[in-house]
Amino acid sequence: MEDVNQLFDAAFEFANSPGAQSETSVKELLDRFPLPVIFNALQTDPDIPTFEKTLVTCLERVFKTKYGATLISQYMPVLQVGLKADSASVKTLACKTVTFLLENSDANDVSPVQLVVSNGIYPLLLDYIIKSDDDGAHAASETIMSLARFPDAMSVIFPADHNDATHLGNIAGRCSSLARVRVLALIVKLFSISRDVASAVKNSGLLDLLEAEIKGTKDTLVISNVLELYYELMEPEHSSEFAPKTSLIQLLCSIISDKSVETFVKIRAMMISGRLLSRDNIYDAVEEACVKALISAVDGSLETPEMDDTNAQETALDALGQIGSTTQGASLVLSATPPAARHVVAYAFDHNAHGKQLAALHALAYIAGEARPKSSRIVDGKAEESLRCLIYDAAAQSTKLTPSGLFLSVLQQSSEIRLAGYRTLTALVARSWCLVEILAKEEIINIVTDSTTETAKIAMEARYNCCKSIHEAFLCSNFVDDPRRLKTGEKLQEAVRSGPYLSKKYRGARPEVMMAEGF
């Protein structure tokens, strides 16, 4: 008992000492209490509060070090036992220890993948995902993700035989609903690692499980969980290459247009559609038809009574903006009959709906091409004419009467609205009619050239980018030779030269601090 108390005291001090442990301190601890002694102590049940927790934390800190990681390969059977233990904390420690082994693979002569496979560790990790609590499932998933970064682990994680007991599709088909969502979450995490792993996920048919899960249930919670996974799936840049775009777009369309679906589920479907469609600039005929159907569904969501929910409408506006961020997407949202972008323009200049106005201004910036290369901001003639007419019609129906009045009113609102307004004007000014409208209001030029207008860094930079775009458009226009515009050109040029932040002439006097004079 005295030895156990001494071990506990040493482990407690080691586990709770501040900062990272040095290699020397790890060696000193293990010289006093070798790993087999600590492992054996974990299997006992001394009447000492927090005994297990202290030893688990101590071992985790040991194996996090380079020296500790070199010792792991000698105790693979112990890891097996740990993954089969009744204690959740011991199982989680075993998962993390395998991760440390994989992350320090250069410290071992034997391939870490070979060690994991030959000692039957991988099936135990899968079993832990299915049967543990959320923390344990997360730890096991992180370990499998570390394993997937090794090329020679691909055949282990994605066996060619779909009937293999460790095939993720096979596991998903025979476990509970909760465990199945965890398996699907693991698939999505694996997909995000790299193009090669994403390709392996697709070739194994695992992405089909997400769609099957949604189509196979009426449970709103399950559908919502899978949509969250789809949203994560679309995050990596390589997602558009491997995700089943056509079938996914059709699925999202059906969810958004289904009147029986809960509003928050539709919101998520809209967000996924925006992220999915903002990636591709060219669609084939089938995909274009699906995109048009989705635009129609999102467009209709802004008008359907049961979708009269602020969050849903803001999300629908955001989705239209994301879809319109590509050249072809912008053409589609502007050229439809009626154009879906009419909602974006209407809300962009509606002072009575702050949240929707903010979402619409950002969406309009995307559609106008703020995120596209400057050479791609202007789209085809029909779409451009639609954009111009929508903005002029919105102005005519307002008290401002002209687009210049609308633009100025946006720049006179709160900082976050101004920020969105800067983004919108940065893109719109590529059109000659917009430049005319901007120059029609000297107050607009005064705001975008005034470095004291904004105080937040992101807003300062947005104002400056707007000013620079207006200046570039001005230099390429006939106005540059107009003597009546000479002062405007000089003001824009000076503002661009001064940079995005406070120029020297606006900086206040700095007090000088002097030593007091002695008597």
pLDDT digits (tens, 9 = 90+) for 310-340: 677 888 888 888 888 888 889 988 988 888 8
Whole-number Cα distances in Å, 286 to 110, 325, 422: 50, 20, 36
- Residue 74 domain flag: no
Q: With both helix axes pointing from N to C terminus, report the angle between 442-449 and 432-439 in degrees, rounded to the nearest 10.
A: 90
- The answer to whether residues 440 and 493 belong to one domain is yes
| Backbone phi, psi, residue 302, to 5° | -80, -15
The total number of structural domains in the chain stands at 2
CA 157 to CA 190: how far, in whole Å? 10
- The answer to whether residues 349 and 444 belong to one domain is no
Contact 54, 98 (CB under 8 A): no
Q: How is residue 232 written in tokens?
A: 């994560």
Q: How is residue 503 written in tokens?
A: 């120029």
Structural domain boundaries, residue 420 = 403-501
CA 425 to CA 66: how far, in whole Å? 54
R_g (Cα) of the chain, nearest Å = 30
CA 299 to CA 340: how far, in whole Å? 5
pLDDT surpassing 90 at residue 423: yes
CA 203 to CA 160: how far, in whole Å? 10
- Residue 8 domain flag: no
pLDDT digits (tens, 9 = 90+) for 434-463: 999 999 888 999 998 888 888 888 988 999
- The answer to whether residues 253 and 393 belong to one domain is yes
Q: With both helix axes pointing from N to C terminus, report the angle between 121-131 and 88-103 in degrees, rounded to the nearest 10.
A: 140
The whole-chain average pLDDT of the chain stands at 84
pLDDT higher at 500 or 467: 467
- DSSP notation for 463-487: HHHHHHHHHHHHHTSGGGG-GGGHH
pLDDT digits (tens, 9 = 90+) for 89-148: 888 999 999 999 888 866 556 788 888 888 899 999 999 888 888 888 889 999 999 999
CA 142 to CA 296: how far, in whole Å? 40
- Residue 25 pLDDT grade (very low, low, confident, very high; cuts 50, 70, 90): confident
- The answer to whether residues 430 and 381 belong to one domain is no
- Residue 45 domain flag: no
- The answer to whether residues 262 and 361 belong to one domain is yes
Contact 41, 7 (CB under 8 A): yes
Q: Which of 398, 422, 441 is the last residue of a domain?
A: 398
pLDDT higher at 312 or 208: 208
Determine the average pLDDT of the residues in 391-401: 89
Determine the average pLDDT of the residues in 19-31: 83
CATH of the domain at 374: 1.25.10.10
pLDDT (0 to 100) of residue 87: 86
- Residue 125 domain flag: no
Report the SS3 class of residue 272.
helix
Instruction: Please name the amino acid found at residue 261.
Output: V
pLDDT (0 to 100) of residue 111: 83
- Residue 117 domain flag: no
pLDDT (0 to 100) of residue 511: 44
pLDDT (0 to 100) of residue 309: 64
pLDDT (0 to 100) of residue 503: 57
CA 56 to CA 90: how far, in whole Å? 7
Determine the average pLDDT of the residues in 178-195: 90
pLDDT higher at 7 or 276: 7
Q: How is residue 443 written in tokens?
A: 């107050």
Q: Which of 348, 380, 398 is the last residue of a domain?
A: 398
Closest CA to 237 of 203, 199, 279, 196: 279
Determine the average pLDDT of the residues in 374-381: 89
pLDDT (0 to 100) of residue 296: 80
- The answer to whether residues 261 and 383 belong to one domain is yes
Determine the average pLDDT of the residues in 198-206: 90
Find tokens 């995490």 and name the residue. Answer: 189
Report the SS3 class of residue 194.
coil
pLDDT surpassing 90 at residue 219: no
- Residue 363 pLDDT grade (very low, low, confident, very high; cuts 50, 70, 90): very high
pLDDT surpassing 70 at residue 348: yes
pLDDT (0 to 100) of residue 519: 34
- The answer to whether residues 393 and 418 belong to one domain is no
- Residue 282 pLDDT grade (very low, low, confident, very high; cuts 50, 70, 90): low
pLDDT (0 to 100) of residue 469: 92
- Residue 417 pLDDT grade (very low, low, confident, very high; cuts 50, 70, 90): very high
- The answer to whether residues 421 and 379 belong to one domain is no
- Residue 453 domain flag: yes
Q: Which of 398, 431, 454 is the last residue of a domain?
A: 398
- The answer to whether residues 372 and 431 belong to one domain is no
- The answer to whether residues 389 and 411 belong to one domain is no
Lowest mean pLDDT among 177-181, 398-402, 502-506: 502-506
pLDDT (0 to 100) of residue 510: 44
- Residue 81 domain flag: no
Lowest mean pLDDT among 35-39, 293-297, 326-330, 381-385: 293-297
Which helix (H) or strand (E) segment holds residue 241: the answer is helix 239-242
Whole-number Cα distances in Å, 144 to 17, 128, 158, 424: 30, 11, 12, 44
pLDDT surpassing 80 at residue 473: yes
Quickly count: other Cβ atoms within 10 Å of residue 421's Cβ.
32
Quickly count: other Cβ atoms within 10 Å of residue 476's Cβ.
12
Determine the average pLDDT of the residues in 211-222: 82
Determine the average pLDDT of the residues in 77-82: 89
- The answer to whether residues 384 and 497 belong to one domain is no
Report the SS3 class of residue 331.
helix
- Cis peptide bond prior to 338, omega within 30° of 0: yes
- Residue 76 domain flag: no
CA 11 to CA 251: how far, in whole Å? 54
- The answer to whether residues 272 and 366 belong to one domain is yes
